[in-house]
Structure 1
């Protein structure tokens, strides 16, 4: 495999998102780019959603935020804390001006690591843990509410426990966190 410059994967991703958008949006599509070109291309099976499925673009870098604003319906961060969100929102607002996009139309989502009480992490994680290093149901709920207050509309939970502990950890989250009335409104 040949080495790829750091900017190339991002440029390829941008172009592939542009080609998918072109194919999803038109019966017959033409596209000419650096990595992909086609004329009169059609899809055998078209998306159920006009224009294609909603794209969630992930990543915490400025390039990922720009990509989300250019191509996505949602931005999907990883390990974002409520304290990070004012800076991220400011970045989104600044970048949106340059790509002619209303930043309020970009849905904000994230992934959070959550370690229920009594569990040790199965893997070493340097990212923020939802509810803190010694989380309780109340601290997890509180932080989820803070994420919501800052505009996060969906949060995927990653539970870094050994595989044989996952069912019990999920049960604990379901019983103590996810059913909390304040999270369902």
Structure 2
């Protein structure tokens, strides 16, 4: 499909339908385990129709990842150097936990890409993600130097936040199996636990 021509309403609808279907397929099967036939079937379109909008499986995957990066960076962008340090860090933790609750497919898509060596978003990881993390790490270091939070390595603090929040999306099946089944909601208790954990760890 021509990138220069404006999309019609039907074209926008079909593009969104394809991306939504692909998100399901990729998050369940990973990139290598997914096929255009699976995506077309999930979207309710023929494979030739799908290929009118996206020339390849990689093009669909890349489109999803491009949209995901901005969503992924937003919670960290919101960490404010002028705010109360503990409040700002806890707000970031809870925003990341909410993303695992509200966007589990996106989290698994991102995790699968990283596990495969980030072939499609490697430049974004070493570019915009690293730049943002370094910027926020400087804020965290300043709070440590001012005695506002306990002494911590800022990069490893962020790694631990990612691990402790994204786990609930990426290992959703394991979490529910351990807690007693698919109807169990782990997030209220996870919120209380993580708030307690980081409050105690970061107290100056």
Q: Is TM > 0.5 for Structure 1 vs Structure 2?
A: no
Per chain length, whose mean CA-contact separation is higher, i.e. which structure has more relative contact order (CA < 8 Å, sep 6+)?
Answer: 2
TM-score class, shorter-chain normalisation, is 0.3 to 0.5
When normalised by structure 1's length, the TM-score is 0.32
Q: Which has the higher helix share?
A: 2
Q: TM-score with structure 2 length normalisation? A: 0.30
**Structure number having the greater strand percentage:** 1
